[in-house]
Structures are given as structure tokens and as C-alpha cells.
Amino acid sequence: MTDPDLSWNDMAAETVATVEAFAAVEPVFLLFAGAVFALHQDTLRALAVDMAKADAPGQAAAIDAAQPTPLGGFAARVGLAMDALRNIERANIAVLAQPSAPAAPGADAAQIHLLMARMRASAARLWLLTMQARVVGQREGQAGASLRLGVSGLWTRLQTVPRDALPERAPAFAGTYYAGVKSAAMDFSAWPLSP
């Protein structure tokens, strides 16, 4: 992960490669699934946006009627979520770009910190890609189809993670994406999210 301003299809290709690297080691992949799920839950709490359903106009109207918020209507909150996801991605890429210290007694802790940052950045990219594929997928021909296919492949892989694997892993990330969002109980029944 080097450039936070990649094109959508380049971002998809890089994210696929990152997820494949995570998937090569099952405990790492399960931890990544926890990061993806916790980001979904934190976004739901912070912005009242269910990122897996961010393109359903009828549902958006129902959400606006049932849950009015000073953050604005559902479309405005989706825009806020997209901006927040980009900021989460950039902040964690910045952590990864910092010069690494030489191996020291705390080197294992530093490696874990970097892995967690990489997972948070990748989770943000996955959700950015998922939401973008829904928004532009229908109107951008081959480019949109390619983006949708890449996102679909990522979710096919993630949906192999059993729901009961999340409670141990997602809390490591819950509450770390947005200021003021606490690690409240998460709804593990929402997995797989089938975006």
C-alpha cells in the first residue's frame, strides 16, 4: 500500500493482492475479517450508515424517517462515510509509511501495530470499493464491471469466515476508526454482510 490516490480499479487490484496475502495465513485472515466487520459496526454507530446497504433509496428514506440525525439525510451521511473511509485509509497508510525502527525488545509489538494499521487501511479500502462499486457500477461500462467483479471476489473470500470466529477478533478493532465511538456490543449476526 503506497498511494492513497489510486484509481478505483488500481485500488481494487492492490486490495485484492493485500487480502490474498492476509488469506495465506488463516489467523491473520480471521483478524482482517474482524477489522472489516468492526469498521462496518463503527460506521453504523458514528454515521448511522449501514455500508452494506448504502445504495437502497427506499431503505434510505425509511432510515431517515426512523432515525433523524443532525448529520443530515442518508445520502449526506453516505458522503460523510466515504470521506471518513478515505481518511481512515490515509491515516493508516501514513502509519505504515513511517520509517521503521531497528529490531529491539519491543519489535514484536511494533510489528503487530503495523499489521493492525495495514488491516485498518485495507478494511477502509474494501468498504470504499464496495460502496463505489454500487454507486458507479451500473453506469461505467467495462470499468464498472471490472470494479464490481473485484469487489465481489473480495466478499466471496470474506464470507467464508464463520460468524462465530468474529467475537474474538472484531473487538480488537472496534472503536478505533472514529473519534468518540466506543467499543459497544457488536451485532455479530450481521456477518456475512452480503454487500
Question: Per-residue confidence of the chain (195 residues) as pLDDT tens digits?
Answer: 445 457 888 888 899 999 999 999 999 999 999 999 999 999 989 988 888 876 665 666 666 667 666 777 778 888 899 999 999 999 999 999 987 655 555 668 888 889 999 999 999 999 999 988 877 655 556 667 778 888 899 999 999 999 899 999 999 999 999 998 986 788 888 887 666
Find, among 32, 36, 66, 65, the residue nearest to 51 by Cα: 36
Residue 135 identity (one-letter amino acid)? V
CA distance 127 to 64: 22
Q: In Å, how far from its chain's centre is CA 160?
A: 17
**Residue 190, pLDDT score:** 80
Q: pTM, whole model, 2 decimals? A: 0.86
Report in angstroms the alpha-carbon separations of 152 from 33, 125, 147, 189. Answer: 15, 14, 8, 21
Angle formed by the axes of helices 8-23 and 107-136, to 10°?
140
- For the four alpha carbons of 84, 86, 88 and 91, in that order, the dihedral sign comes to negative
**Residue 78, pLDDT score:** 86
Q: Give Dmax (Cα) for the chain.
A: 55
